[in-house]
Amino acid sequence: MTVTKYSANGNDFVLIIKKKKKDRSKLAKKLCHRQNGVGADGLVVLVPHEEYDFEWEFYNSDGSRATMCGNASRAVAHFAMDKGISTDGVAEFLTGAGVIRATVNGLYVVSDMTKPIILSEEIEEDGEKWWFVDTGVPHLVAIRESVEEFDLEQARRLREKYDCNVNICHVLKNRLLVRTYERGVEDETLACGTGMVACFLRANREGLVENSVQVFPKSKDELYVSLEGETYKFGGQVTKTFVAETLI
């Protein structure tokens, strides 16, 4: 099987093209394994769709399914353009959270994210106020004075309690510093697109940032999140790491 590896600011994915939908949970676990497989945070499978350029199946590294992933949406849009599945610099594809439209300009990709839903603004955990936001997948968001320390044991407990990703963020002028613990990976990742959008949403609603900001995840790469009308846009560069044959 031919696989393509992409990194979207430290969030890495294995991408493959298949003709039909099926359960590929076991394949995802094998391919995403860091020692015995290709190694990745997730597997994305492109399958044909009658109305859109394609439909995706998205799997976390533990084999679980996810409806949406912001960084993967940018990687897969570039991949689809590279393969001629999408053309004219625009990719439109169906995810479990809805249709994503992404524009591709060289290695720079901007995804129009699915409309976020604020599930709660009143969650209190460990004496701290959290927002619960669904940006395609559910996220807890706390705003802190610093993100230097991230208690992963607390993050794991909250992930289990609320079945969501857990984010902490810090506002530095009109920039956001974000760290995310991702379910399905069950650890902190170097970047999480839907998490960055969730953090931006809270900070923007609370008047802490403007409608367009630089966002820096743990990878320290520079990304952008903006609110244009009612559309949340998420942009940054992607890297096509390699193409390889695997015996898995």
Catalytic residues: 69, 192
Which residue reads 């994915």 in tokens?
A: 13
The DSSP call for residue 123 is E
Q: How far is residue 231's CA from residue 229's CA, in Å, rounded to a whole number? A: 6
Q: How many Å apart are CA 139 and CA 68, to the nearest integer?
A: 12
Q: Rounded to the nearest 5 degrees, what angle is found at the Cα of 104, between the Cα atoms of 63 and 210?
A: 90
Phi-psi region of 62 (alpha: psi -120 to 50; beta: other; left: phi over 0): alpha
Alpha-carbon distance 144 to 65, whole Å? 30
**What residue has token string 């992409």?**
6
Within 13 Å and on the Cβ side, how many CA atoms surround 18? 17
CB 135 within 8 A of CB 106: no
Structure token digits, residue 38 = 């290709």
DSSP strands (E only) in 22-64? 42-47, 54-60
